[in-house]
Amino acid sequence: MTIIALDRLVPDTKSCCERLEAEGYCIIRNAVPSSLVDRLACDLEQDFAATPHSVGPFYGETTRRFHGLLRRSRHMGRFALDPLVVAVVERFLQPWCDTIQLNLTQAIEIEPGGVAQPPHRDQDMWPIHTAGVEYMINVMWPFSAYRAENGATLIWPGSHRRQDEIVMPTEDVIAAEMDPGDALIFLGSTLHAGGANKSANSRRGMIISYSLGWLKPYELPWLAYPPEIARSLPRSLMTLAGYQAHRPNLGTHEGRCPSLLLNAIGDGAQGAIDVLRPEQERLISDYRAGRILPDLGGSPAEDG
């Protein structure tokens, strides 16, 4: 296996998108101050300590994983709504959906002795794919230094263009080596895996995943952030976390946009409200006005 440390600086949206299109991943150095990472990691310290080991061959039984990070630290908003990350996510996902959603937030610890994950593409959690469409984008934020020896994420560059290959040669893989404050962005179509931790220390970090708003997310947001919790969090985060309808009328509650659940008033019975795309509203209007008529088919009557 060839391990290559990545040190390319990706300073802007255009450069990052070009790298993603070419290689399926990019690393942003110093995306946020390392001191902010330290504060977030400190907020999550007790959760790491209290979380049991994972179960199953995919997660790995020497890992700890927990979710719902938006409610666990007030610092999460800076990461989830990072301007460069959001701009990149919108560039790849917005052509295929009305709204973008959080697919999951997950904190991860790989203990010493943890084995490497099997290579996989995260988009394969959904069974149907359309060529040229990206369904999700992942962002890995390290809490501790990510090195090849402690299980840094393994990436197969260019694998997003080779969708028919379940596995690829190990000599093609790179280890995404990073420090706290850096961020790894990779497409849901990119082949990757958590690396083996051959060091004496745990490797900690988190992943924030964004997906098309009409897909069922990995983490159900209304269970992670029920209304009584969601009302206490910034509206911008809860919109991203699923408290918004995706036109037409997807993800509603009682026929209404779930954002209304965050209002302090209006808990009584209320009628359904359409949430439609503009072109759908125009079609309905044209139909009711008689501007859309059925095609009766057949050939014109011949003269007798």
Domains for the chain: give ranges and CATH numbers: 13-241 (2.60.120.620), 246-292 (no CATH)
pTM score: 0.88
Euclidean distance between the first and final Cα of the chain, in Å? 82
76 has a pLDDT exceeding 70: yes
Q: Which two tokens stand for residue 111?
A: 């203990």
Give the ranges where the chain is alpha helix by DSSP (H): 13-23, 34-43, 45-50, 76-80, 83-93, 221-224, 227-230, 235-240, 278-288
The Cα 87–Cα 79 span in angstroms is: 13
Burial 265-293 (b: 16+ CB within 10 A, else e): eeeeeeeeeebeeeeeeeeeeeeeeeeee
User: pLDDT tens digits for 134-146?
Assistant: 999 999 999 999 9
Distances (CA, A) of 290 to 112, 274, 278: 70, 22, 18
What confidence tier does 279 reach under pLDDT thresholds 50, 70, 90?
Answer: confident
Mean pLDDT in residue range 172-195: 96
Confidence (pLDDT) at 59: 87
User: pLDDT tens digits for 29-50?
Assistant: 999 999 999 999 999 999 999 9
What does the angle CA 89 – CA 262 – CA 37 come to, to the nearest 5 degrees? 45
64 has a pLDDT exceeding 90: yes
92 has a pLDDT exceeding 70: yes
For residue 134, which of 240, 56, 17, 7 has the smallest C-alpha distance? Answer: 17
Burial 116-129 (b: 16+ CB within 10 A, else e): bbebbbbbebeeee
257 has a pLDDT exceeding 70: yes
- Which residue bears the tokens 């719902």? 68
The Cα 204–Cα 40 span in angstroms is: 12
Centre a 10 Å sphere on the Cβ of residue 56 and count the other Cβ atoms it contains: 8
Confidence (pLDDT) at 265: 52
DSSP classification of residue 233? S
**Portion of the chain with pLDDT greater than 90, in percent:** 72
Mean pLDDT in residue range 204-226: 96
Mean pLDDT in residue range 70-82: 97
For residue 61, which of 113, 17, 14 has the smallest C-alpha distance? Answer: 113
Confidence (pLDDT) at 282: 87
166 has a pLDDT exceeding 70: yes
The Cα 70–Cα 74 span in angstroms is: 7
Q: Which of 8-22, 67-81, 266-280 has the highest mean pLDDT?
A: 67-81
What confidence tier does 256 reach under pLDDT thresholds 50, 70, 90?
Answer: confident
**Portion of the chain with pLDDT greater than 70, in percent:** 92
297 has a pLDDT exceeding 80: no
